[in-house]
Amino acid sequence: MEKILNFLNRLQQNNNRPWFEEHKKEYKEAQEIFNGFVEKLIMGIASFDPSVNNLTVKDCIYRIYRDVRFSPDKSPYKTHMGAFVSPHGKGSGLSGYYFHLEVRGAEYIGGHIISTGIYRPEPKVIKSIREEIMLNGKEFQDAIDIASNFRLDRSTALKRVPTGFPSDDEYAEYYKLRDYFLMQFIDDKFVLGSNLAERTVNEFKKTLVFNDLLNKAAKFAYEG
C-alpha cells in the first residue's frame, strides 16, 4: 500500500498527461497492488456475505481517468483509488462495501475511508428505504448501533422530512437522508499495517445487517 500512496501523492503534485505518461509504469505497479488487495477483499467479504460471490476485481474498481466534460477542474486523473464490492458489481444500484484511498491534501472525501451503503440512490430506492425505516425503524437503528467505529453520513440530508413521512416519528431524522451509508475514516497507520484485507473485512462484518436492510429495500424497489 505504501507504493500506492506514494504514487498518488506524486500524482497530486503532477496531475497532467505528460507526467502520467512518463510514470505509467509506476501507475501500473500501483494498480496491480491495489487489484491484488481488492481480490482478497472480495473473498473476505464473500465469506460472510455470499451476495458478492463470483465478483471479479474489474466488477468493483474504478478507472483513474476523470470525466472532466462538465467539471471546472480539468485535472485529468483521480488522486484516489476505490473499490465498491456490491452484488452484481459497482453499477448495480445496490448497497455494498466501499474501500477508498486518498492522497494528503485532496478534497474528494478528505481521507481514506471504509464505508457501507448506497450513494446517490435512485428516487424509487430512496422511497423504498424510507418506507422500510418507517415499518422497521428499530431494526434500522440497531443495525447502525451494531456497526461500532462507523457513523451514519448526514452531509446531504434534507432540512425537512419529505412529504408522505411522519415528521413526529421517532426515526424522522432518517427520512431526511438522501444517501444511506455508514462510514469510518482510517489513517495511514491502518492502511500500512499488516493484514490490511483481513482487518478491513473484520470492520465490514459489523455493517452486514445494515447492508442487508438496504438491499432488501432496494431490491423491492427494482422488482416492484
The answer to whether residue 182 scores a pLDDT higher than 90 is yes
Q: What is the pLDDT of residues 55-92, one digit of tens each?
A: 999 999 999 999 888 888 889 999 999 999 999 999 99
Q: 125 is written with which cell numbers? A: 430506492
Strand order in the sheet with 80-85: 80-85, 96-102, 112-118, 180-186, 151-152
Q: What is the pLDDT of residues 2-44, one digit of tens each?
A: 999 999 999 999 999 999 999 999 999 999 999 999 999 999 9
Using a pLDDT cut of 90, give the percent of the chain over it: 92
pLDDT, average across residues 111-128:
97
Q: Domain extents for the chain?
A: 2-223
How many degrees, rounded to 5, is the angle at CA 193 between CA 189 and CA 194? 175
* CATH classification code of 2-223: 3.30.930
pLDDT, average across residues 189-209:
97
Q: Would you report the helix, strand and coil content of the chain in percent, each value rounded to 5? A: 45, 15, 40
The answer to whether residue 224 scores a pLDDT higher than 80 is no
Q: What is the pLDDT of residues 94-115, one digit of tens each?
A: 999 999 999 887 778 889 999 9
